[in-house]
């Protein structure tokens, strides 16, 4: 169960509270005894961890084709696509 701390106490001891959170503790902030917020340690996503370790690379933005291939004659879509790839 998370530690509960009132807003006033949090304001007065913010540095210590952040140290506790950095150490892995979760703190539930209360106002008039009612929970209003939770402060918890930041956790990187698995992908962010892999990127930071150099074991993955971020994806690149999608680039739309720079030109359209025009259909000429009775060719199938597959043939047109293959011809477009050969032009690269």
pLDDT tens digits, one per residue of 47-70 = 988 998 999 998 888 888 777 767
Residue 67 domain-assigned? no
Distance CA 1, CA 41 (A): 15
Cα 7-17-41 angle, rounded to 5 deg? 110
Note down the domain range covering 44.
1-58
| 63 within some domain | no
- Is 3 a domain residue? yes
Q: What is the CATH number of the domain that holds 28?
A: 3.40.1620.10
Instruction: Report residues of the chain scoring pLDDT below 50.
Output: none
pLDDT of residue 71: 65
Residue 79 lies in a domain: no
76 domain residue, yes or no = no
- Taken in order 62, 63, 68, 74, is the CA torsion positive or negative? negative
Domain annotation covers residue 65 = no
Interacting residues of 28 by C-beta distance below 8 A, sequence separation 6+: 2, 3, 4, 5, 35, 37, 38
Residue 35 lies inside a defined structural domain of this protein: yes
The total of structural domains in the chain comes to 1
How much is the pTM?
0.53
């Amino acid at each position: 169960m998370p530690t509960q701390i009132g807003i006033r106490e949090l304001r007065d001891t913010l540095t210590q509270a952040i140290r506790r959170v950095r150490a892995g503790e979760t703190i539930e902030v209360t106002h008039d005894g009612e929970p209003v917020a939770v402060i918890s340690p930041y956790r990187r996503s698995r992908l962010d961890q892999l990127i930071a370790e150099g074991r993955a690379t971020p994806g690149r933005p999608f680039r739309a084709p720079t030109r359209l291939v025009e259909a000429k004659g009775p060719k199938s879509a597959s043939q047109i696509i293959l011809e477009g790839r050969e032009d690269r």
